[in-house]
Amino acid sequence: MLTIAPSFPSPVALTGRTFFCECVAYTVGEPRLHRLGAHEVASAWGAVLWLAWRAAHVADQLDPPAARPVRDWLADRAESERAWARLEAGRGYALLVRDGPVRYAVSAVPGSPAG
């Protein structure tokens, strides 16, 4: 269940900057990254929504014990607001999910993929 509440100042206001969102997976001890999706959005709010959307997809693929922290994160309004505030302040935000030796990183940073 996605419960990000619209308490942000303006969910559709464009700030004039973009945010690059990405999801990757890797296995501990192996150098290879598996890119699981990326998207560029025009607002911090859009980045938070993409993070939640992608994290929910990751959780759907995991066994219940590994998915629980992701579902808890999705339901945490205060954490959603922290993510939004960090992005609005020009900083990045990431969620790291563990499933045995596999790690999933869902992240957003200000700027485009090239810089």
What confidence score (pLDDT) does residue 43 get?
A: 95
Q: How far is CA 41 from CA 12, 29, 76, 87, 103, in A?
A: 11, 32, 22, 12, 24
- For residue 30, give both structure tokens: 């192996």
Q: Which residue has the tokens 């990326």?
A: 38
Contact yes or no for 27/100 (Cβ under 8 A): no
Per-residue pLDDT tens for 14-27? Answer: 456 899 999 999 99
The residue with greater pLDDT, 111 or 115, is 111
Per-residue pLDDT tens for 36-81? Answer: 999 999 999 999 999 999 999 999 999 999 999 999 999 999 999 9
**C-alpha closest to that of 60 among 50, 70, 75, 49:** 70
